[in-house]
Structure 1
Amino acid sequence: MSPPRIGSRAPARPTELREPPRPARNEVKPQAKAQVTRPGMSGVSQFESPPTRQQPVALNAPAALARGPSVAPGSYPTAADVRNIAAMQDPVARNHAITQGYSDLSNAMGQLLGTENANWSTFATWASKQAGVSIRGEDMPKFFTDALKGADGVMGPMSKVDDLLRKLGLPSLPLADIASAGNQALQNVSKAIADGNKLVFEEVGQEFARFVETFQGDTQYDAAKVEQYLSGFPADKPLLKESFGHYAQAMFEKDPNKKAELMLLANDKVGLHEQTQLQPYVEKALNSPVKDTFRDILKQTVEAQINALPFPANLAGKAALKTGLVDAALNPVVDGVANVFRRVATEHMMKLAVPGSALKLGNDLPPPPGMESTLFPPHLRSVENPELRALLGQLDKSQDSLKGSGAKDWSKLDQRMNYIVDLFRSRQSDPALFDPPFGQRGTYPVAPSAPRVS
């Protein structure tokens, strides 16, 4: 079968029309409030005040200054709200708040930049929601126990351990103890994921909030203002600084092709920054010292059984412990159990549920519905931005294709980024990504307003 054909790039709209030109698809309309709506949702924001009757303007009154789109206070988390959410101690409740916060920041950005293109926070919403499954440990214990029962690499060595235990006058090794060890290992994995979830939101979430606060209401690109805004980024976070510079450019870009490319460039750079920050957490989650966990718990079980025997029946057991006979019997069980745990944990973790589909991160990305032959949205079917082309050349192992996008080893940064850049490019125009993850928008406390400084 021949590879899918990359469709032609969507042409920019003609500039000369017989009728007065309408704004380009991505153009911000001055004095018009942007409204994010999704199918099945009311077009009226719960944060908007009822419209007031327009007052007549005297003929000699000065014209009102044009004002760009703004975001309702309390409809998205401020930088202070982000810090408060990150400080929550309950990892499950914190993850829920982080996921909601990402969604509300995504929609706030959408009101400024438009919703024709997803921003990084849009994708982060669904990644955070998926992380919540691992943080809560949903279904994992049952999957693990079921996998153990059918694993030859576990049941065979366990029968040999049981033979030894019988000779020592002890009962068979209970499967429940292995499941308990798996539970402990799962808690270690969940903690690593929860810590990474918190780290990224606390850092990147504040920057999205700062962007909204800085640029809402603006009607044109102000290079001096952008430069001053970017000076607020730490010197050791150049990718993050560059990313939000691209978002600022995209906010006022009229050409839909150029705008889509600026959005993708910004999204990819934020993605590379946060995945680099997450590297130790991903490695800790996927390469958790499960062998040590299983060995400690299983050996403690055997020792407790031996110590419970009366003298002199316990002498043989203590000798078996001292000579390493018990360790030698348990080691193959530990190896087999650890392998099963890693396989099940990886399969369980390496999923991403997005509206309309569940993606397996180890498999190649399927084309978005309706793009089976073109793979990418119209404004991203070819890439002309030289900086974006260079970045994709660095991160995308199969450019202009989804073949080979699957990440077989999610602990490897290059494999994660190879998948992520294709995910961002192929799904950037999917409006369903702006859907609320829990069915509703969040609300946040509104601080007393201060005079706006121009």
Structure 2
Amino acid sequence: MMNWSHEIDDAIQTSDPRLSNFKITRLHWLLSNALSEELGHDVGANFHSWAVWGSRKAGVTIRQADRDQASRDATIVAGIVGGLVGVVVGWAVARTSTISLPTSIMTWVTIGTITGGICGWLLARYTRVRAASLILRGNRIVLDDIGRVTASYLNFLSRSRSLPAETADFASWRASLRPGKSEDDGQDLLARAFSCYEQARTSDDAKTKHEQTYFGNCLAVLHEHYRLQPIIARSLPFLISRCVTQRLMTYSVGETQLAVHDDVPPLDETTFPPTLMKIQSIELGEFLHGSHGWDVGRDQLTDTKAHAWTDLHQRMGYIVNLFRTRHLSPDVVASPYDDDQLSDIAEGKLPQQPW
């Protein structure tokens, strides 16, 4: 049996940021597979299945592979803003001097465009370097927190097989998690998430299995995003968060390319899988559609796009619908790397490109 604690320690303590991210992504994939073995392959994707693709996207920023694109976009946007400011300044100067209006506006538009473009380029370079450090920190937090809970749950199930059924007490295992809110380093949401997984594992009904696993995924990712909110906000400064969301927040799930600034697309023209089309669980229904529910689409995929990724409600509105549409998609549980790359990462080496 894999020593999960050792593997997690190694991944988060690896000094090379790129290799650390590759190890984290690989471990999410291994945890996804191990959890599927326990819950049943018919329950759909679990949290770690999704975390694979989040970690892989994080790797792009950690390696700063998107820095050139970010710099170009920021230069263009800031240049346009500088040019518009130049129009206003040029008009004001012409009103208070002998310089003609066309000459004044042309001069100040040129100055504003050049100055704005330079400032945008410098801001993008600075923010991408800072973002790389912050996102690696978040990447490690997720594995260190949720990964260890999953490992503990897997070990509990393994031990339970050697014990009489009446002594295999899930409630006692759940009680071992830290009480409290996610924002305060508590694990109440994770306790609820793994209770859902346990219901899925022990149920014989396909709808219950899918609903409870999906609910567990949503609770786990909400816990994650409460924990990561300060990091996400700092990695995407307010002044450029909408620009970054619109132009850079693209990602892949398996072979499918998606973008958070678009509404969540249906899978094979079907809004949701049949077992998740109508929600039966009262608790899940409240989580999605209650007065403080997270499903902005309300059982549809319209208006599920995120305009600013720093906004928790917009992120969750997008994520809960993404998870629901693709809960049974083979792409979600696919391997993030080929066998040779996985072997390299397991040996502590950077995998061969392309990444």
Bucket of the pairwise TM-score, normalised by the shorter protein: 0.7 to 0.9
Name stretches of at least 5 consecutive residues in structure 1 with no aligned partner: 1-72, 165-171, 289-338, 446-454
- Distance in 1 separating the partners of 2:49 and 2:338: 15
- Does the 8 Å contact 2:45/2:327 carry over to 1? yes
Write the letter of the residue equivalent to 1:84: D
Q: Relative contact order: is structure 1 or structure 2 higher (C-alpha 8 Å, sep ≥ 6)?
A: 1
Partner residue in 2 for 1:233: 177
- Distance in 2 separating the partners of 1:163 and 1:350: 31
Partner residue in 1 for 2:102: none
Partner residue in 2 for 1:14: none
Q: CA deviation at 1:364?
A: 0.8
Matched, 1:249 2:199: yes
Partner residue in 2 for 1:274: 224
Write the letter of the residue equivalent to 1:187: V
1:392-413 CA deviation, whole Å, 9 max, x = no partner?
1211122221112111121111
- Distance in 1 separating the partners of 2:231 and 2:18: 17
Partner residue in 2 for 1:215: 157
- Distance in 1 separating the partners of 2:201 and 2:237: 41
Give SS of 2:35's match. helix
Distance 1:104 1:184, change over 3 A: same
1:182-207 CA deviation, whole Å, 9 max, x = no partner?
32221112222221111111101111
Q: CA deviation at 1:415?
A: 1.1
Partner residue in 1 for 2:321: 422
1:37-436 paired onto structure 2 within 5 Å: 73-74=1-2, 78-116=4-42, 117-145=44-72, 148=75, 151-154=79-82, 160=108, 179-216=121-158, 224-236=168-180, 237-287=187-237, 342=241, 345-369=244-268, 372=269, 374-393=270-289, 394-436=293-335
- Distance in 2 separating the partners of 1:286 and 1:149: 18
- TM-score w.r.t. length of structure 1: 0.62
- Distance in 1 separating the partners of 2:296 and 2:274: 21
- Distance in 2 separating the partners of 1:431 and 1:221: 33
- Does the 8 Å contact 1:112/1:216 carry over to 2? no
Name stretches of at least 5 consecutive residues in structure 2 with no aligned partner: 87-106, 181-186, 348-355
Q: CA deviation at 1:140?
A: 2.6
Q: CA deviation at 1:163?
A: 7.0
Partner residue in 2 for 1:304: none
1:37-69 CA deviation, whole Å, 9 max, x = no partner?
xxxxxxxxxxxxxxxxxxxxxxxxxxxxxxxxx
Write the letter of the residue equivalent to 1:285: S
- Distance in 1 separating the partners of 2:267 and 2:231: 30
Larger Rg: 1
- Distance in 2 separating the partners of 1:379 and 1:223: 33
- Does the 8 Å contact 1:286/1:346 carry over to 2? no
- Distance in 2 separating the partners of 1:193 and 1:264: 25
- Does the 8 Å contact 1:140/1:348 carry over to 2? no
- Distance in 2 separating the partners of 1:178 and 1:260: 46
Instruction: Using the TM superposition, name which of 211-220 and 345-354 deviates more.
Output: 211-220
- Does the 8 Å contact 1:364/1:405 carry over to 2? yes
Q: CA deviation at 1:145?
A: 3.0
Q: CA deviation at 1:97?
A: 1.0
- Does the 8 Å contact 1:365/1:402 carry over to 2? yes
Distance 1:199 1:143, change over 3 A: closer
- Does the 8 Å contact 2:75/2:119 carry over to 1? no
- Does the 8 Å contact 1:102/1:122 carry over to 2? yes
Q: CA deviation at 1:266?
A: 0.7
Write the letter of the residue equivalent to 2:58: A
- Distance in 2 separating the partners of 1:224 and 1:252: 13
Write the letter of the residue equivalent to 2:155: E
